[in-house]
């Protein structure tokens, strides 16, 4: 029995030991391990972004990440959606289609389809952008300190695709939470509630 045959015959420990002595064999040892690893990035790049997981599930687990290349985002989004979602732009006040939109339903991310806000938490703040006093439960949005433009604000991004949504402020005492999620219309799509 040769050296290689003996190593394989003793199982995984022997394979690892063999690999230590034969560095090129590490590749062969690692192949079955790599096959068991999650391949989230492969899923996205090979199949394209999927909206089904977010729409089909409403668990409290953190959303699966959607990671696309810059070229893929440019292909997927309109120029304006790209400017706001991927480059942290802001639509002009009183121009967004959801500013004074109060139909019952759910607002989902325009980038990945993740459910972000319910119409039940939407209120008319008069600020010129859609305002919500809370995001949907389940860590749907991520909050990050934002010190840009000489201001101290809290940026709101989609937890699933990291798309820029807007900012949240503690200036709405008339609401149950006192908070105002000030969100760009272009960052969202509205899904009417089934009647
Ligand atoms: Fe998203």
Domains and CATH numbers, the chain: 3-37 (no CATH), 41-192 (2.170.150.20)
pLDDT tens-digit profile of 56-83? 334 455 558 999 999 999 999 999 999 9
Q: Is 112 part of the annotated catalytic residue set? A: no
Candidate from 40-44, 97-101, 154-158 with smallest mean pLDDT? 40-44
Residue 64 neighbours by CB under 8 Å, 6+ apart: 40, 53, 54, 160
- Find the 66 Cα to ligand 1 centroid distance in Å: 7
Q: Tell whether the model's pLDDT for residue 175 goes beyond 60.
A: yes
**Cα 65 to middle of ligand 1, angstroms:** 9
| 87 Cα–ligand 1 center, Å | 14
Cα of 38 from ligand 1 centre, angstroms: 20
pLDDT at 14: 39
The 10s digit of each residue's pLDDT in 118-137 is 999 999 999 999 999 999 99
If phi over 0 gives left and psi between -120 and 50 gives alpha, with beta otherwise, what is residue 96?
Answer: beta
Tell how far the Cα of 18 is from the centroid of ligand 1, in angstroms. 46
pLDDT greater at residue 101 or residue 30: 101
Q: Say which of 109, 112, 161, 182 is annotated catalytic.
A: 182
Tell me how far apart the alpha carbons of residues 12 and 2 are, in angstroms, rounded to a whole number.
Answer: 17
| Ligand 1: centre distance to CA 28 (Å) | 38
Surface-to-core class of residue 85, CB atoms within 10 Å of its CB (0-12 exposed, 13-18 middle, 19+ buried): buried
Sheet hosting strand 141-146, strand order edge to edge: 122-123, 131-132, 180-183, 164-169, 153-158, 141-146
């Amino acid at each position: 029995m040769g050296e290689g045959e003996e190593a394989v015959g003793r199982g995984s420990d022997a394979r690892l030991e063999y690999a230590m002595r034969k560095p090129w064999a590490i590749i062969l040892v690692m192949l079955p391990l790599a096959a068991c690893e999650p391949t989230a990035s492969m899923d996205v790049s090979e199949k394209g972004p999927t909206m089904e997981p977010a729409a089909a599930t409403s668990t409290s687990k953190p959303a699966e990440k959607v990671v696309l290349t810059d070229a893929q985002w440019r292909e997927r989004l309109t120029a304006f959606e790209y400017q706001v979602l991927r480059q942290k732009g802001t639509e002009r006040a009183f121009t967004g289609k959801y500013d004074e939109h109060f139909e019952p339903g759910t607002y989902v991310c325009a980038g990945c389809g993740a459910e972000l806000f319910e119409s039940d938490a939407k209120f008319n703040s008069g600020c010129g952008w859609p305002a919500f006093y809370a995001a949907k439960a389940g860590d749907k949005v991520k909050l990050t300190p934002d010190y840009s433009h000489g201001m101290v604000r809290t940026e709101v991004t989609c937890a699933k695709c990291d798309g820029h949504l807007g900012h949240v402020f503690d200036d709405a005492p008339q609401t149950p939470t006192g908070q105002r999620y000030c969100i760009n219309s272009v960052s969202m799509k509205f899904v009417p509630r089934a009647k």
